[in-house]
């Protein structure tokens, strides 16, 4: 998946499948988790474990049911080297504690099957295709990117670039938010804000290390699902 990946994703964005009507939800959310070579097995486990814990949390589940449709849809994506296959959980509807726990179990047991370089642009492009696969429909579409490094491929041809991903994101009307883990790079938060996050009401949360990830992903999910509930619970943002 090198040069032709962009063409594949573009076709996915504009060729909606003629299948059953998509599920209408208040938010369609792709959780894009870094599995590149800089992420250890322990750090990967912290990420999927933090996501699992969040979807067992009563506050997250309450937020998921406050919109007009009383439900959201989530899909877990793991990404790493742009030339390696991506893996996703498939879409899960969250409208009850039981459904939240089902997705939590999926996230907690989602095996790592990637490595290599940091292909953020390809991850965003793949997330855009997931949001347009015809399974779910929402006026709010978000890709939630978490990672600990900068794009590896900006100066290498013919790899897909972050600017290419942003043009596709603009055409699709999708918001990209970031969770920058500054374990190896103290400037990663600023990089995410400048090059990764984009779209309506986008934001970046920054943590110093993986030990802060679980708290951050919970807060990030609250902000994405229902910002009003997030602000009532914790008015001061994480750094």
Domain ranges of the chain: 24-231
The superfamily (CATH) of domain 24-231 is von Willebrand factor, type A domain (3.40.50.410)
Closest CA to 114 of 147, 156, 136, 71: 147
CA distances (Å), 73 to each of 142, 160, 167, 175, in order?
A: 11, 27, 24, 15
Cβ contact 160:125 at 8 Å: yes
51-104 pLDDT, tens digit each: 999 999 999 999 999 999 999 999 999 999 888 888 999 999 999 999 999 999
- What is the rounded average pLDDT for all residues in the chain? 86
Over residues 174-183, mean pLDDT? 96
Element holding 153 (H helix, E strand): none
The DSSP call for residue 146 is E
The DSSP call for residue 33 is E
1 pLDDT band, cuts 50/70/90, is very low
pLDDT for the residue 234:
55
Q: Strands 92-94 and 141-147, how do they pair?
A: unpaired
Task: Give this prediction's pTM.
Answer: 0.85
3-state secondary structure of 204: strand
156 pLDDT band, cuts 50/70/90, is low
Cβ contact 29:224 at 8 Å: yes
Closest CA to 120 of 185, 88, 171, 164: 164
Gap between the Cα atoms of 205 and 161, Å rounded: 23
Element holding 181 (H helix, E strand): strand 175-181
206 pLDDT band, cuts 50/70/90, is very high
């Amino acid at each position: 998946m090198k040069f032709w990946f962009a063409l594949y994703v573009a076709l996915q964005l504009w060729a909606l499948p003629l299948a059953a009507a998509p599920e209408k939800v208040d938010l369609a959310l792709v959780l894009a988790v870094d599995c590149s070579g800089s992420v250890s097995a322990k750090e990967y486990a912290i990420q999927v474990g933090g996501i699992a814990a969040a979807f067992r949390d009563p506050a997250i589940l309450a937020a998921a049911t406050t919109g007009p449709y009383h439900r959201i849809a989530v899909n877990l994506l793991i990404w790493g080297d742009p030339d390696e296959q991506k893996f996703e959980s498939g879409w899960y509807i969250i409208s009850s504690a039981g459904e939240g726990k089902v997705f939590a179990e999926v996230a907690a047991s989602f095996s790592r099957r990637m490595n290599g370089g940091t292909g953020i642009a390809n991850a965003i492009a793949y997330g855009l295709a997931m949001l347009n696969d015809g399974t779910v429909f929402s006026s709010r579409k978000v890709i939630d990117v978490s990672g600990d490094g900068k794009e590896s491929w900006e100066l290498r041809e013919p790899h897909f670039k972050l600017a290419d991903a942003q043009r596709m994101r603009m055409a699709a009307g999708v918001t990209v938010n970031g969770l920058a883990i500054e374990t190896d790079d103290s400037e990663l938060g600023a990089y995410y804000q400048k090059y990764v996050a984009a779209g309506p009401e986008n934001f970046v949360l920054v943590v110093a290390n993986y030990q802060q990830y679980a708290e951050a992903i919970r807060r990030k999910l609250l902000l994405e699902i229902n910002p009003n509930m997030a602000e009532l619970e914790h008015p001061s943002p994480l750094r």
